[in-house]
Structure 1
Amino acid sequence: MVRHILDTPVEYLKGIGPSRAEMLRKEIEIRTFGDLLHYYPFRYVDRSKFYTVREIDSDAAWVQLKGRITAIQSVGSERVSRLVMTFRDSSGETELVFFQGLKWIREKVQVGREYIVFGKPNLFQGKYNFTHPDIEPADEEIQVHQEPLQPYYSTSEKLKSRGFTPRNFVRIMRTLLSQVYQAIPETLSPQLIRQAKLISRAEALFNIHFPRDPQSLAKSQERIKFDELFFIQLQLLRLKYIRMDKVKSRSFVKIGEFFNSFYRNNLPFELTNAQKKVIREIRADLGSGKQMNRLLQGDVGSGKTLVALMSMLIALDNDCQACLMAPTEILASQHYKTISRMLQGLTVEVALLTGSTRKALRADLHTRLQDGRLQILIGTHALIEEQVQFNNLGLVVIDEQHRFGVAQRARLWEKSAIPPHVLVMTATPIPRTLAMTLYGDLDVSVIDELPPGRKPVKTYHFYEKDRLKVFRFMKEQISQGRQVYVVYPIINESDKLELQDLMDGMDTVSRYFPLPEYQISIVHGQLKAAEKESEMKRFLEKKTQIMVATTVIEVGVDVPNASVMVIENAERFGLSQLHQLRGRVGRGADQSHCILMSSYKLTIDGRKRLETMVRTTDGFEIAEVDLHLRGPGDLQGTQQSGLVGLKLASLVKDEKLLRLARELAYRTLDEDPKLERPENQPMVKHLQSSEFDWGKIS
């Protein structure tokens, strides 16, 4: 098979060679011509203008000077040293300061020689200097000033020491493009290029490195961003089309006695319009004859469990079993108690299976599950054990699905000869753009209303000086029969972090809330599971009024009587975590309160997070703010560079382009589901050559 020129090892490019190629591989993972071609500039600067030293001011982001080095001096100890150069032009002098690569820089620069210096000025003790600027001999200057926008490539001190300066990267890219430009393959069909109003891929890749003007740069960036977003969406939607075409499931056409009796007699509250809409979507999926793969998003307390139960009752009406898998014993037990309570009076067999289930009980459970008497099984990872065998599994519900691995989830639906329907739930609101990318192969339903009678939690931000006021408020709430959570970011005192810790906090709370009038539970990650269960149970049974805890109570503790959540060092928590913690209160009919305690030292982002929490209880709005503050890399435990794989496109800034890419991916597959048409072969080749690692997400 003939290798494409873009697959050529980078050592064969003129001016690189084996040892420098090895440095590129180690430092920035560039192995081939193609890798180098896709190493985009991170900035473009106007290198057509020269400043004088006197013209430097604080508004100048980047400055280019021409002058002479008049002195070079090593400053500091042998262990911590720096190189300081005096640079002079006709208007005055400034200093160039280097902290790394000193030996290489010292050998390169000569006193008295004329240089071009390019860098960002810093104001230090009333004078401007430059830290690690680019410095090139003026008499060796290549013709880089003919174009207004100059590419600027990210490099490192090690790379610079081997000649990979930003200036030399420009030379290398020119050499590369002269060799590969004619061979750059198109990846989109002509129809798609017309529909999205894009330039060709070859033109885009040339202009991303050497733009003629800002307009050509913008068009190049748009084309490359579109490609990144389009191929992710195309791959996800292909998975969905393949599943819909090949994976058949049972058709649940019957709505019978289980569902109808529950609806008439056991419904705990009137369904919201959002719940009704989601149940209609699920019913349509279950009756289609194709496997349902649906993501159910709903804020804390929005009634997802009720929707899941009604879906399971449809499975029962069609002579099938259902199961619900949760990530922790606490959450599984909570679901078991909630569902058992909701089903009181109905002849539905429900059981709980966790790692703590006794051996004798487990054996009986396995027997009843296999002969079909046990209709709904709720549990943890224990559900995927080999000895757990269903008689006729028709529906799998997975809660907080991002806490399970792909292989673990897949083992559940392998327990049935006919693939069961799958309903995935999350209480972590996912921004639309991220949902399209992380869960693009799933159908998405959203419950965006709270059940009737639920009041939004009131949220306040206080500082340390307000602590006595907060304690008085806690006492008032406890005197009214309510309960309080106090959450700390760490368990023990840390020398490195100036944070409130749980152990010290427990002492403080105990002094203000003394025995025997007040009882306190304590829960943290270092306790054994049985100890945690015991403490949680005491709180749930109202034997304690205050629970001092770390974030282990973030998910799965449902105490309707708890009305106050105090979060210490709230500025140290992410928005989604703050929102999850706040969701532990407000689960009853009484007004609930969330108090965010913070230090006075707040970063801009920290202040923005706390202001957002005080302003809104809308989980989806909070998720959007979180996406803008943190980027997609930190959300849902993914890394943008890994799972999402975007170099230029941003899920935050390019939502409009993402929507267009998804729409055109849909249209492409609608017209050619198997991508067999000749005009779509460039896309197929690109998909085959790209390292997409999506697997089965649901």
Structure 2
Amino acid sequence: MAVLSDRLDYILGKKAAGPLEEFFGMRTVNDLLRHYPRKYNDEMTVVGEGESLEEGEHVTFVDVITKVDLRWTNRTPKREYMVVTLGNRKPKVTATFFNVKYLKKSLTEGVRVMLSGEVGYFKGTLQLTHPGYLVLHEGGKVSGSKSLKTIATASGASGDELLAEFEREFFPIYPASKKVQSWDIYACVRQVLAVLDPVEDPLPESFLREHNLISEDRALRAIHTAEKAADRDAAIARLTYDEALGLQWALVRRRFSDRSESGPVALPRGDGLVAAMRGQLPFELTDGQKDVLDVLTTELAASRPMNRMLQGEVGSGKTIVSVMAMLQMVDAGYQCALLAPTEVLAAQHARSVRDVLGPLAMAGQLGGSDSGTRIALLTGSMSAAQKRAVREEVAGGEAGIVIGTHALLQDAVEFHRLGMVVVDEQHRFGVEQRDRLRSKAPDGVTPHLLVMTATPIPRTVALTHYGDLETSVLRELPRGRQPIATNTIFLNEKPAWLERAWQRITEEVRDGRQAYVVASRIDENDKTKDDKNNGGPPATTVVELFDHLRSGVFPRLRLGLMHGRLPSDEKDAVMAAFRAGDIDVLVCTTVIEVGVDVPNATVMFVMDADRFGVSQLHQLRGRIGRGQHPSLCLLATKLPESSKAGARLKAVASTLDGFKLADLDLLERREGDVLGYSQSGRPITLRFLSLFSHLDVLLAARELCETLYESDPARPGMAMLAAPFTDTDRVDYLDKA
């Protein structure tokens, strides 16, 4: 007999188990049984109506041969070959066989056959070339290629029973490869199920009753062998919960491990930097900012490390909240590190923090406050002497707030007394990177963690991808934020609108304002996968757009060019000139997507907007509307209004609600793209759980895992459910964002 943790080579033998491990990473019985069928045949059809198949994809058909053509090749010596047509399908499906001396005796009209091979196309006809095949004759006699004869062995039936087995209402079709076909997997599954002991259920009986779920044992058997749709659906419902519970168990294990660590206690003071900062703020905090600060103040004063994500709308004031939190730590004698993904953003943060603190950020300098602190900036492009000076300032404790890029992660950077880590645009960093920064704290202390994102996140994603963090949300925009009108421009259908767009930019500049013009690519060497998959005209590069605008469209305006390949000093100079008003129009890539704050910029023109994601467009739009004037965002595309991309752009134009757009973004993207990749480079796959529609399942799973882990961290079966999300050589989304 067998249990889920048994190795497959012990149950199946090395010859059968080897390919399963080599091509699918399956090592245990559990791995095999969690390799669920991708579909079931329906009236002997395994490809759904209207379903498209890509060239090279491996597929299995079950159908009746409706036509057989015997032909000869044109080459010398001539060879006979056979083309069979399957059923009456649209589009037409054929299979071509060579060496047909024996095949033409068994592959005849009216015979029901299984064909398994790689998809090819010729003049609109889907064709399989010399696929694996299996024929069942009356009386149960089996003929076919060796690989597909395994189905006869797997069924355990003989004679007419074998024919009945073949003609069952549902037949599992597995994700397969050329080397390991669906029926090879099916044979292994049947062999394992035949010796599998009853599976002990890891979930409480009360939870199963509450959510009307079948047992683990029944679900794992039914998903592979059930003939009735109702039994299959019940199995899917249970296995959907298994995926949610596996995710949440991996996350709760991480959350509880953090809770057992000691965090730096920072009790709020009435006479420190926080109080001084509040007294000199030129504006009043929003109610949302006050609520979030109350939560942060309480958690920073506790001995358990804070692990919190702050998400909010573009321009909702997350930065000032993080500054107030960091000052509470500085008041208690600790240092804070703010990690940013780009040098532009890091420099922007340093400038913003110094501006808002004023003399409080100039300790030890002329005009500085005696009770103040220092702000340090560390980036990779600094000279060796500059880096050395900053590192000394940080190690000596003079800098209370240290802002930087990945340069902060280097071993050479040592903190005097690190107590808090703030990560901006956290989706650019993995758990491993933020943990590396936290490890620079004194021994025995785990710094508080605040990660921030200006990209609103659907709640289901917050419960999974960021489920090791508590979440705070800022929806309210500060008073005085100006409205942003957004329009789409379909260049091929309404070419005159492009001319009008350039006129609007000219008008804004004439009135003393500035504009961004954004392109998706730097130059012709900047190829992306979208160039192959977009299906439309090639994207306009930022270099050619800059040359075109400078020479023809805006000859009297002052234009600047900025993209990621420019040296850091050039990028700094361009941004400084734009911020000072010495550049009217900044032609750029998405290097300005996050953190750039120029209140005088009132127009955002995005060329080839179809090349950008929903959330990215919302981020870009957030660079305008930051001053006292109404702003305009223009999304231009060469694709038609009726296209899927056109509908997406109109959806972005219809709302400024980033949370609605985040849901749209999730609906459009593959969920593996949301969750990321494993360390081996494999995308994370959720077979049944949907991040778009299963919020109730995720909430129930999270609550149960919290309860079970508190009472029994080693509860049998739960670690196995979590294994796909924690094993380092499989899917490890906790450490790969």
Q: Which range, TM-score by smaller chain?
A: 0.7 to 0.9
Contact 1:119–1:130 (8 Å) recurs in 2: no
2:341 is aligned with 1:342? no
In the other structure, the counterpart of 1:322 is 336
In the other structure, the counterpart of 1:498 is 538
What is the alpha-carbon distance in structure 2 between the residues aligned to residue 419 and residue 292 of structure 1?
A: 9
Q: Which of 626, 638, 655 lines up with 2:665 in the alignment?
A: 626
Extract unaligned runs of 5+ from structure 2: 54-59, 117-122, 143-161, 361-368
What is the Cα-based RMSD across aligned positions, in Å? 3.9
In the other structure, the counterpart of 1:668 is 708
Higher mean C-alpha displacement, 688-697 vs 201-210:
688-697
Q: Which of 395, 406, 423 lines up with 2:450 in the alignment?
A: 423
In the other structure, the counterpart of 2:695 is 655
Where do residues 176-191 of structure 1 align in structure 2 (5 Å cutoff)? Answer: 176-180=192-196, 182-191=197-206
What is the alpha-carbon distance in structure 2 between the residues aligned to residue 689 and residue 599 of structure 1?
A: 42
Q: Alpha carbons of 1:455 and 1:58: their partners in 2 closer, same or farther (altered >3 Å)?
A: closer
Q: Alpha carbons of 1:175 and 1:391: their partners in 2 closer, same or farther (altered >3 Å)?
A: closer
Q: Tell me the alpha carbon deviations over residues 133-169 of structure 1, each in whole angstroms, 9 at most, x when there is no partner.
A: 996424046323664333222334444xxxx355x65
2:271 is aligned with 1:256? yes
Instruction: Name the SS of the counterpart of 2:41 in structure 1.
Output: strand
In the other structure, the counterpart of 1:144 is 165
In the other structure, the counterpart of 2:191 is 175
Q: Tell me the alpha carbon deviations over residues 36-75 of structure 1, each in whole angstroms, 9 at most, x when there is no partner.
A: 322211112333799xxxxx99899999754564323478
In the other structure, the counterpart of 1:635 is 674
What is the alpha-carbon distance in structure 1 between the residues aligned to residue 718 and residue 381 of structure 2?
A: 51
In the other structure, the counterpart of 2:511 is 480
What is the alpha-carbon distance in structure 2 between the residues aligned to residue 211 and residue 547 of structure 1?
A: 62
C-alpha displacement at 1:252, in angstroms?
Answer: 2.0
Instruction: Name the SS of the counterpart of 2:171 in structure 1.
Output: strand
What is the alpha-carbon distance in structure 1 between the residues aligned to residue 562 and residue 80 of structure 2?
A: 50
2:427 is aligned with 1:392? no
Contact 1:256–1:317 (8 Å) recurs in 2: no
Extract unaligned runs of 5+ from structure 1: 51-55, 121-126
In the other structure, the counterpart of 2:69 is 71
Q: Alpha carbons of 1:368 and 1:154: their partners in 2 closer, same or farther (altered >3 Å)?
A: closer
Q: Alpha carbons of 1:397 and 1:157: their partners in 2 closer, same or farther (altered >3 Å)?
A: closer
C-alpha displacement at 1:131, in angstroms?
Answer: 4.4
Q: Which of 407, 429, 437 lines up with 1:382 in the alignment?
A: 407
Q: Which of 611, 616, 639 lines up with 2:650 in the alignment?
A: 611
Letter in 1 for 2:647: K
Q: Which of 430, 439, 448 lines up with 1:414 in the alignment?
A: 439
Higher mean C-alpha displacement, 452-461 vs 500-509:
500-509
In the other structure, the counterpart of 2:238 is 223
> TM-score normalised to the size of structure 1?
0.85
2:320 is aligned with 1:306? yes
Q: Which of 37, 41, 59 lines up with 2:33 in the alignment?
A: 37
In the other structure, the counterpart of 1:278 is 292
Contact 1:571–1:602 (8 Å) recurs in 2: no
Q: Which of 585, 590, 605 lines up with 1:566 in the alignment?
A: 605
In the other structure, the counterpart of 2:481 is 454
C-alpha displacement at 1:225, in angstroms?
Answer: 1.3
Identical counterparts, % of pairs? 33
What is the alpha-carbon distance in structure 2 between the residues aligned to residue 106 and residue 485 of structure 1?
A: 70
Letter in 1 for 2:548: T
C-alpha displacement at 1:210, in angstroms?
Answer: 1.9
In the other structure, the counterpart of 1:124 is none
Letter in 2 for 1:288: A
C-alpha displacement at 1:474, in angstroms?
Answer: 1.0
Letter in 1 for 2:336: A
Higher mean C-alpha displacement, 645-654 vs 418-427:
645-654
What is the alpha-carbon distance in structure 1 between the residues aligned to residue 395 and residue 45 of structure 2?
A: 80
C-alpha displacement at 1:402, in angstroms?
Answer: 2.9
Instruction: Name the SS of the counterpart of 1:594 in structure 2.
Output: strand
Instruction: Name the SS of the counterpart of 2:486 in structure 1.
Output: strand
C-alpha displacement at 1:446, in angstroms?
Answer: 1.0
Contact 1:63–1:119 (8 Å) recurs in 2: yes
In the other structure, the counterpart of 2:307 is 293
In the other structure, the counterpart of 1:123 is none
What is the alpha-carbon distance in structure 1 between the residues aligned to residue 347 and residue 75 of structure 2?
A: 62
Contact 1:413–1:419 (8 Å) recurs in 2: yes
C-alpha displacement at 1:430, in angstroms?
Answer: 1.8
Letter in 2 for 1:306: I
Letter in 1 for 2:507: E
In the other structure, the counterpart of 2:472 is 445
Instruction: Name the SS of the counterpart of 1:142 in structure 2.
Output: helix
> TM-score normalised to the size of structure 2?
0.80
Contact 1:85–1:95 (8 Å) recurs in 2: no
Contact 1:5–1:183 (8 Å) recurs in 2: no
Contact 1:249–1:291 (8 Å) recurs in 2: yes
Contact 1:115–1:136 (8 Å) recurs in 2: no
Q: Alpha carbons of 1:690 and 1:3: their partners in 2 closer, same or farther (altered >3 Å)?
A: farther
In the other structure, the counterpart of 2:94 is 97
Q: Alpha carbons of 1:509 and 1:58: their partners in 2 closer, same or farther (altered >3 Å)?
A: closer
Q: Tell me the alpha carbon deviations over residues 471-497 of structure 1, each in whole angstroms, 9 at most, x when there is no partner.
A: 111111111111111111122247976
What is the alpha-carbon distance in structure 2 between the residues aligned to residue 64 and residue 390 of structure 1?
A: 66
Instruction: Name the SS of the counterpart of 1:7 in structure 2.
Output: coil
What is the alpha-carbon distance in structure 1 between the residues aligned to residue 4 and residue 342 of structure 2?
A: 52
Higher mean C-alpha displacement, 438-447 vs 141-150:
141-150
